[in-house]
Amino acid sequence: MPTPGFVQRMAELGLNFPAEELDAFESFVTDLERAASFVRKIDRSFAEEPSNVFDPASVALTRTA
Amino acid sequence: MTSPHELTIAEAARLIAARKLSPVELTRACVARVKALDGKLNAFILLLEESALAEAAAAEAEITAGRYRGKLHGIPIGLKDIYSTKGIATTGHSALMRDNIPAEDAHTVALLRQAGAVILGKLSTHEFATGGPSFDLPWPPARNPWDLSRMPGGSSSGSGAAVAAALCPGAMGSDTGGSIRFPAAMCGIAGHKPTYGLVSRRGIMPLSFSLDHAGPLCWTSEDCALMMDVLAGYDPLDPGSADVSKPDFSAITPNIKGMTIGAIRHFHEEDDPCDPEVAAAFDASVKTLESLGATVRTISVSPLQHYNDVGNVILRAEAYSIHERHLTRTPMLYGALGRRRLAAGAFLRASDYVSALRHRSRLVAEMAAAMAACDAVITTGWPSAAPELSENAMVRGPMPTMVFNVTGSPALSICNGFTASGLPLALQIAGKPFADPTVLSIGHALERATAFRSMRPAFATEAATAA
C-alpha cells in the first residue's frame, strides 16, 4: 500500500493513476528523491557559480582533441 | 558471396559502388528477413516495403547512371520510432501518438535520404524512449535475438535487435542515459552516442533536452563511422547543436599504437560490482589494447552513483516538463511503466534541478581533467549480460552509460565477448569532446583484433534457414 502522504502529494500535483500502480510509482519516486537529496547536499563556493549553466559550447565541450 | 543481409555497411557499399550488388537485391533480402523473423523478434513497428523498394530502385538507377552518392547510397536503414518521417506514422511506441503523422522528416532522416539511404521501416522503442519493456502498449516489446526470452536492452530496443539479427545493416537510436549503448551491449553490436551537439535532434521526440543524443547502431564500429560521416554537422535549428567543424570520420584506423587509454575500474570493481564474466572480459580487452601498442592506465573519477544521481534528476525533471500536460489529462494513454517514469519528475523541486545542473558542470570539468593525459577511457559496457524480458528488467544499480550523457562526451559500446551461455558482453569506450573518430578507431581496432564479429545469433541463422 502506498503511504497516505504519497497519495495526497500525487493529488496536489494533478496525478491520478490506477491504485495497483501506486506502490511501484512510490518506489520509483523514493529513489529519485534519494538522488535529489544527494544534489541538495553538495556544497559549492560562490566563486564557482559563473560556470553553473550547462552550455554545449562551453570550454569543456570545445574541440580539445 | 556472403548473403546480402550478412554484409556490413562497409562491405555492401564496396560491392554497390563496384556494381556487384544491387540496392534492390539488398533491400529485398532485408524485407524477406523482416517477414521471416520479426514475428518472433518484434523489432519493427512498421515495415515500409513498398517505399523502401522504390527508394532502392531509384538508388540503383542513379548508380547505374554514374551518380553514386557515397557509402550509404542504397543501404537499408531502420529508424527508432521517435524519428519523424514525413507522411509516415511516428508513434513513440505509444497509444498517445499512434495517429501522429509528421509533416516533415527529422533533420537526420533528411540527411540519410540525401545520402541515398533506403528507409526500411520504423523500429520498436521503449515508450517515448523510457517506458519499457512494456506489455501494455499497442505493439509488443522487442526481444533479444541471442535469446528470445531476454531483453534486447533499451530504449532503442528494436534498433539493437534488428541490427543483431541482420534485418538491416544499420539503424538509428537515441541515447539519454544509455539508450543506444545499452541495446548495443545486450545485442552484441556497436552503438555510438556522439558528442553532445554533433548530431541534430530536430524532429526526434525529446526525452530530456540537455541529455538527449541521436546516433547509429551497426554491426561494427567502422559502420557507425560511415553513418556518422553523414549524420554529423551543425544544425542551427537545434539549439543544442555545436557550430564546430565536422570531425573526419574517414580517418578511423585500426592502428592505435602509441595511444594512452584510461581504464575506470572503480565503476565496476567498487561502485557497482559487475558480474565476474563482465570483469574478465574487461581485463581481456585491456590486454588486447596493450597488444595493439596502446598504454592502459587506471584512472579515477567521482563514484558512478554521483553521475547517475545528477543525470537522473536532470532527466526526470526535463521529461516531466515535456509530458506534464498529457500525464495530468490523459494518463491512461501511456503504459504503466511510461506513466511512472515520466511522472516521477513532478516530485522534484526546482532547486533540485538547478543543483543537479550546477554539479554537472563540476563533473564535466572533472572528466575533462581525467581525460587530459589520455586519448580515451574505457569502462564496462553494462554490468551484466541481458536479463530476462520483464517489466522489472531495467531495475538495477547505476549505469556506466549515464556518465557520458552527463559529460556530453562521445561514447561507444562494442561487443566484448560472450558469457558461457552465449550472451554478448560489452565494453564502453569514451573520448574527448568531438574526438568521436578516436573512439571509433579504438572500437574498430578491438573488433579487428578479436573474433567477436564472426558470430551471429543462432536464432537469426537457424530461423532464416527454416524460413
The residue ranking higher by pLDDT, B285 or A53, is B285
Q: CA angle B427-B428-B431, nearest 5°?
A: 145
Q: How many domains does chain B have?
A: 1
Contact across the interface for B196 and A17, Cβ inside 8 Å: no
Domain that holds residue B381: 16-466
- The pLDDT of residue B397 is 84
- The verdict on whether omega for the bond into residue B216 sits within 30 degrees of 0, i.e. cis, is no
- Residue B336 inside a domain? The answer is yes
Q: Give the closest residue to B194 by CA, choosing from B361, B416, B412, B367.
A: B412
- Residue B10 inside a domain? The answer is no
- Residue B192 inside a domain? The answer is yes
- Residue B11 inside a domain? The answer is no
Model pLDDT for residues A56-65, shown as the tens digit of each residue: 554 444 544 4
ipTM comes to: 0.93
Q: Touching check for A28 and chain B: CB below 8 Å?
A: yes
- The pLDDT of residue B393 is 74
Do A20 and A40 meet the contact criterion of CB atoms below 8 Å apart? no
Q: Chain B contacts of A14, Cβ < 8 Å?
A: 328
Amino acid present at B384: S
Q: Give the closest residue to B185 by CA, choosing from B153, B220, B144.
A: B153
Q: Chain B contacts of A30, Cβ < 8 Å?
A: none
- Residue B7 inside a domain? The answer is no
Helix (H) or strand (E) holding B60: helix B49-64
Model pLDDT for residues A3-49, shown as the tens digit of each residue: 879 999 999 999 999 999 999 999 999 999 999 999 999 988 777 76
B155 assigned to active site: yes
Contact across the interface for A56 and B357, Cβ inside 8 Å: no
What is the side-by-side strand order in the sheet with B411-418?
A: B44-47, B118-123, B76-80, B170-175, B213-218, B190-193, B411-418, B424-431, B376-380, B260-263, B295-298
- Rounded to 10 degrees, the C-alpha dihedral B1/B2/B5/B6 comes to -160
- Residue B2 inside a domain? The answer is no
- The pLDDT of residue A20 is 95
Q: Touching check for A11 and chain B: CB below 8 Å?
A: no
- The pLDDT of residue A61 is 47
- The pLDDT of residue B203 is 98
DSSP class of residue B269 equals I
B179 assigned to active site: yes
- Which cell numbers hold the place of B227? 553513418
- The pLDDT of residue B391 is 85
- Residue B3 inside a domain? The answer is no
Q: Give the closest residue to B80 by CA, choosing from B113, B32, B44.
A: B44
Collect all residues with Cβ–Cβ distance below 8 Å to B440 and sequence separation of at least 6. Answer: B192, B221, B222, B224, B225, B228, B249, B252, B412
- Residue B248 inside a domain? The answer is yes
DSSP class of residue B96 equals G
- The pLDDT of residue B461 is 81
- Which cell numbers hold the place of B459? 536464432
**pTM for the complete prediction?**
0.96
Contact across the interface for A28 and B408, Cβ inside 8 Å: no
Do B92 and B126 meet the contact criterion of CB atoms below 8 Å apart? no
Burial A25-46 (b: 16+ CB within 10 A, else e): bbebbeebbebbebbeeeeeee
CATH of the domain at B52: 3.90.1300.10
Tens digit of pLDDT at every position of chain B (467 positions):
579 999 999 999 999 999 999 999 999 999 999 999 999 999 999 999 999 999 999 999 999 999 999 999 999 999 999 999 999 999 999 999 999 999 999 999 999 999 999 999 999 999 999 988 999 999 999 999 999 999 999 999 999 999 999 999 999 999 999 999 999 999 999 999 999 999 999 999 999 999 999 999 999 999 999 999 999 999 999 989 999 999 999 989 999 999 999 999 999 999 999 999 999 999 999 999 999 999 999 999 999 999 999 999 999 999 999 999 999 999 999 999 999 999 999 999 999 999 999 899 999 999 999 999 999 999 999 999 999 999 877 666 899 999 999 999 999 999 999 999 999 999 999 999 999 999 999 999 999 999 999 999 998 886 555 54
Q: How is B271-325 classified by DSSP, letter by letter? A: IS---HHHHHHHHHHHHHHHHTT-EEEE---S-HHHHHHHHHHHHHHHHHHHHHH
Q: Chain B contacts of A44, Cβ < 8 Å?
A: 358-359, 362
Instruction: Report the distance separating Cα B367 and Cα B261, nearest Å.
Output: 14
- The pLDDT of residue B464 is 55
- The pLDDT of residue B392 is 79
